[in-house]
């Protein structure tokens, strides 16, 4: 049977919706790639530190790398499914539309659960992350170099790369390093030299700045590494959540549209247009 006026509207609306899906798929694919290649957080120097931050059987380092890969795969899959739905609507292929509707429903339920869990767990994750970072720094930060101790090296690269110092913001000689293992061998220093704005990987062996390391009055990074890390990660998560919510809304309309076309197309297993041409 021929599609009704409403069915024809749904058909072309479904084409538009899936075109939007393609753009949203790119919206997941591109940030996923950017996050994977962003050397500020996920690199061989800082990764050992992130892998020390465990959450049950998981750790932040592996999760960060896994999340970016997952977003790339998922974004590519969204592109494929949206192309599948677009072709099914244009050609009025009932089988394609049934498979498409089933996939859209599964995606909708899965992403709805993820979005809800993110909003419910966000505060708890923030508290856990800050606590874990502080514990790791005070327990495992030992040396002011880039060779002798893997975890210390990771912290030192984080200080330089993210322009941060400690876990909480450093405001003076009393700070997070007071309870660290490193303070026992620090001498007159209150913060490591890598917290200084002018310290680099090439000059640290000869670098000195007592106004930074000893008196903590100038030339040091005032931002805490928790805020620096969370701010960077939150930039990506905000984009992901916004795109995810948009996709949820689009999926509802896409699912309804595909069901309408399937119902009006009859029960044959061949293309809908094979039984009746629209227009």
Q: pLDDT by residue (tens digit) across 74-99?
A: 788 878 888 778 877 777 777 878 88
Whether 80 and 151 map to the same domain: the answer is no
Domain that holds residue 146: 137-225
Whether 15 and 141 map to the same domain: the answer is no
* 89 falls within a domain: yes
Whether 141 and 206 map to the same domain: the answer is yes
* 61 falls within a domain: yes
Alpha-carbon Rg of the chain, whole angstroms? 26
* 130 falls within a domain: no
Whether 187 and 258 map to the same domain: the answer is no
- The SS3 assignment for 58 reads strand
Whether 22 and 106 map to the same domain: the answer is yes
* 129 falls within a domain: no
Mean pLDDT of the chain: 79
In angstroms, the CA 270 to CA 219 distance is 72
Whether 170 and 108 map to the same domain: the answer is no
φ, ψ (nearest 5 deg) of residue 63? -65, -40
Whether 100 and 167 map to the same domain: the answer is no
Whether 141 and 200 map to the same domain: the answer is yes
Structure tokens at 230: 């969370």
* 69 falls within a domain: yes
The per-residue pLDDT for range 108-165, each reduced to its tens digit, is 888 778 778 777 877 787 888 888 889 989 999 999 999 888 889 989 999 999 999 9
Whether 175 and 39 map to the same domain: the answer is no
In angstroms, the CA 104 to CA 100 distance is 6
Whether 177 and 216 map to the same domain: the answer is yes
In angstroms, the CA 50 to CA 178 distance is 22
The model's pTM is 0.58
């Amino acid at each position: 049977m021929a599609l009704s006026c409403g069915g024809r509207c749904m058909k072309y609306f479904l084409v538009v919706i899936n075109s939007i899906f393609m753009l949203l798929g790119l919206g997941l694919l591109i940030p996923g790639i950017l996050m994977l290649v962003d050397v500020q957080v996920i690199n061989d120097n800082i990764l050992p530190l992130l892998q020390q931050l465990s959450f049950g059987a998981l750790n932040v380092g592996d999760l960060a790398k896994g999340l970016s890969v997952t977003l790339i795969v998922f974004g590519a899959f969204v592109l494929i499914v949206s192309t599948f739905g677009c072709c099914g609507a244009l050609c009025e292929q009932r089988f394609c539309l049934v498979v498409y509707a089933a996939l859209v429903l599964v995606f909708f339920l899965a992403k709805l659960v993820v979005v809800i869990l993110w909003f419910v767990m966000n505060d708890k994750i923030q508290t856990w992350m800050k606590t874990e970072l502080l514990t790791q720094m005070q327990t495992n930060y030992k040396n002011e170099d880039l060779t002798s101790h893997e975890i210390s090296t990771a912290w030192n690269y984080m200080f330089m790369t993210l322009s941060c110092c400690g876990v909480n913001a450093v405001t003076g000689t009393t700070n997070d390093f007071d309870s660290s293992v490193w303070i026992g061998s620090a001498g007159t220093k209150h913060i490591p030299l890598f917290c200084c704005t002018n310290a680099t990987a090439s000059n640290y062996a000869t670098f000195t700045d007592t106004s930074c390391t000893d008196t903590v009055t100038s030339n040091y990074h005032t931002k805490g590494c928790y805020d620096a890390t969370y701010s960077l990660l939150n930039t990506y998560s905000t984009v992901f959540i916004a795109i995810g919510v948009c996709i949820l809304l689009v999926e509802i309309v896409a699912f309804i549209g595909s069901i309408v076309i399937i119902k009006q197309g009859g029960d044959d297993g061949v293309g809908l247009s094979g039984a009746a041409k629209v227009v």
